[in-house]
Every structure is written in structure tokens, then in C-alpha cells.
A and B are shown apart, each in its own frame.
Chain A
Amino acid sequence: MEIFKIVGLGITATLLAMIVKQYKPEYGVHISIAAGVIIFLLMVSKLASILEVIYSLTDKLDMDAVYMKSIFKIIGIAYISEFGSEVCRDCGESSIASKIEFAGKILIMVLALPILLSVLNLIIKLMP
């Protein structure tokens, strides 16, 4: 049961961080970052297999692969920027966190813009 492993890790890390924070508050942040990274790494192989399946499904679909690729990229960017901004927010640096989110939004926009513009071109072409 993988979920026990992860919940156990999470609770242990939380307790450790609470105890350590009383003496050295800055080490609590280190522990929370490390716990987040470890949980993510534990899940990475399963996530990869899920994405693989979805990707093979889109092969059967009569659809361009570009869209799926950009969707995966967008989801990845959203996750990573979320992780970074949460860590910053935990340390009380909410302004840096919002900057990270801003950067994530811009990168998502860069990826989404071609799709958006091609839809727009298409609709214009549909007009008689």
C-alpha cells in the first residue's frame, strides 16, 4: 500500500518540522521542501505511466499531437509553479510566490497562444 508510505512520510515530516521549528525555524522549511520533493519522486513513475496511456489514446484519435503535447507542458508548468509558490508562501514570502505564479502564467500563455490563434484563424476561415 503505497498511500500508507506517503501519508506516513508526510506526517513524520510535519512532526519533525514542528519540533525543529522551535529551535531553528529555517530548518523547518528545508524539511518541508525535502518532503515535497520525495513525495513527488515517489509518484513520478506512476504519473509517467498515466501520461503514457493518455498519449497513446490520442494516437488513436484523429487529432494533431501538438495539442496534447502543449497540454502536458501546460499541466507540468502549472504543477511546478504551484510547488514553488507554495514553498515561498510557507516561508512568508507571498510576494515572491505571486511572482512565480506570474511567470507560470506567462509561460502557459506562450504555449497556449498558438492554439488560440489557430482557432481564431479557423473561425475566420469558416466565414463565407
Chain B
Amino acid sequence: MIEIIKGWIINIVTIILILSFLEILLPDSKMKKYINLILGFIVMLVILGPIINVLNNNGELQQDVFSISGQLSKNEYAFINSNIENRQEEQLASLYKERIKQDIVYRVESRYDVKVTEVYIELEDSKKEEMGEIKKLELSVGNKNYQLDEDTIPIVKIDVSNEDINEIDSNDVDDMSVSLKKKIKEDISNIYNINENNVEIMN
């Protein structure tokens, strides 16, 4: 019993001496009060030492510190990781979109005598099961022989979400023939597995 008390008192005296010695080393700044707080915690731990040993006699406190700091760094890395994953997903989606656009432009331009000036694609949300399916597709096509400035740009619109739209605008009076548009529309809906009933053509 006397031995335990002796060791305890030596511990307290040594830690207080060491910490007051370390305080000389501290820079005189605003940091000093934070460091003093932590030093106070450590003195407290040393004073409570025997009680800790009685309560849990297998050095669990150090394990505690390790597990808490491990938890902290795990949280930090999870945060960094989620950022990276989000960015990767965005990049992947934009790359995918870009490829589909190139593909559509290539197919349409190689098969028909038209020029695709703009492609707008809306994809299915990444959270859902059918991720990556084309929800909406708008094509702006012009005649290849015309100069770009004079191009009238009719829009071939393929809309998956609206089931009942299947009308062909009758007042289609520009040089792009209705049949050509219909062909393009059929072609695209076949390739990309979109129901043809959901295809809409308008100017």
C-alpha cells in the first residue's frame, strides 16, 4: 500500500515538474492557453491514475486514445473519399454524355445528308436502377449544304417521359423534309432502345 502511494506521489511530482519545464519552451502567443489546457488534462490523468488502475486494470486508456484518434482520422479520410467519389461520378457522367453525343452526331451525319449543330441529353438519375438511360434527347439539325448562319434549325425531340405525345407538326415548311426527320427519329430510337411512340418532331 505504501509502495503504491509512494509511486503515485513520485508520478505527480515528476509530471508537474516536467510540464512546468515544458511551459518555458512554449511560445508566447495565443496558443499558450490551449496548450495549458491540455497540460492540465494530463496532470489530471496522472492524479487520477490509481483510480483508473483500480477500475480497469489492463491499460485501456491508451487504447481509448488510439481508438478515438483512429476514429478521427477515419472520419477525415471518409470526408476526403466522398469528395473524390463525387467528383469521379461527375466526371464519369460527363464523359458518358460526351460519348453518347459523339455517337449520335456520327451516326446521324454519316447516314443522312444533314449537319447536327447541337445535342442536348438528359440522363436518368444515378441513384435509380436504370441509371444512364436517356430520358430526353434534343437534336438540332441543319442542312449540310447551307452555310451555318443561314441554317434554320429544326429540333428533333425524343422524349421518353411523355408517353402520349406522338404528333407530327403539319406546318413543317422548311427544307428539312418530314420523312427525313422521321427516318432520323426512327433510327435513333432503334439504336438507343427508346420507344418510337415517345418520339416527337417539332420545329
B-contacting 9-mer, from A3-11, A25-33, A106-114? A106-114
Interface, chain B (partner A; CB < 8 A) = 7, 11, 14-15, 18, 21-22, 25-27, 29-32, 34-35, 37-39, 41-42, 44-46, 48-49, 51-52, 55-56, 59, 61-62, 64-66, 68-69, 72
**A122 at the binding interface (Cβ < 8 Å):** yes
Does B42 lie within 8 Å of A112, measured CB to CB? no
Within the complex, which residue of B14, B27, B34, B44 is in contact with A108, where a contact is CB–CB below 8 Å? B34
Q: Which 5 A-B pairs have the closest CB atoms?
A: A78-B31, A114-B68, A114-B69, A82-B27, A64-B62
Closest partner residue, chain A, to B50 (CB atom): A62
**Residue numbers in B under 8 Å from A66 (CB-CB):** 62, 65-66
**Choice from B37, B65, B68 contacting A64 with Cβ under 8 Å:** B65
Q: A63-B11, A64-B65, A78-B35 are in contact. Are A122 and B48 (CB under 8 A)?
A: yes
User: Contacts A78-B31, A113-B72; is A64 near B61 (CB within 8 Å)?
Assistant: yes
Nearest Cβ on chain B to A86's Cβ, whole angstroms = 9
- For A70, list chain B residues within 8 Å (CB): 38
A119→B72 contact, CB < 8 A: no
User: B56 — nearest CB in chain A belongs to which residue?
Assistant: A125
CA distance A34 to B106 in the complex (A): 62
Beyond A61-B11, A105-B31, A112-B38, is A121–B22 a contact (Cβ under 8 Å)?
Answer: no
Interchain pairs with CB closer than 8 A, number: 106
Decide yes or no: A119 and B35 within 8 Å by CB, A60-B14, A78-B26, A78-B27 being known contacts: no
Chain B neighbourhood of A101, CB < 8 A: 29-31
Which residues of A lie under 8 Å from residue B41 when comparing CB positions? 112, 115-116, 119
Minimal beta-carbon separation of B67 from chain A (angstroms): 8
Minimal beta-carbon separation of A14 from chain B (angstroms): 20
Main secondary structure on B side of the interface with A: helix
- The reply on A57 being an interface residue by CB < 8 A is yes
Asked if B66 contacts A82 (CB within 8 A), the reply is no
- Asked if A118 and B68 sit within 8 Å, CB to CB, the answer is yes
Contact at A118–B61, with CB atoms within 8 Å?
A: yes
Q: Which residues on A are within 8 Å of B, measured CB to CB?
A: 47, 50, 54, 57-58, 60-64, 66-67, 70-71, 74-75, 78-79, 81-82, 101, 104-105, 108-110, 112-119, 121-122, 125-126
Given contacts A78-B27, A104-B31, A118-B64, contact A62 B42 (CB under 8 A): no
Q: Give the residue of B22, B44, B61, B64 whose beta carbon is less than 8 angstroms from that of A71.
A: B22
Chain A residues with CB under 8 Å of B39's CB are 71
| Min CB–CB distance A90 → chain B (angstroms) | 15
* Residue ID in chain B nearest A115 by CB atoms: B41
Q: A67-B42, A115-B45 are in contact. List 14 more A-B contacts (CB 8 A).
A: A47-B25, A54-B18, A54-B21, A62-B7, A63-B15, A71-B35, A75-B35, A78-B31, A82-B27, A108-B34, A108-B35, A115-B38, A115-B41, A115-B65
A67 to B18, CA, bound (A): 13
Give CA–CA (A74, B36) in the complex, Å. Answer: 11
Measured CA separation A50–B27 after assembly (Å): 16
Give 22 A-B contacts (CB < 8 Å), ordered by A residue. A47-B25, A58-B18, A61-B14, A62-B7, A63-B45, A66-B65, A67-B65, A71-B22, A75-B25, A78-B26, A78-B29, A101-B31, A108-B34, A108-B35, A110-B72, A112-B38, A113-B68, A114-B64, A114-B66, A119-B41, A122-B48, A125-B55
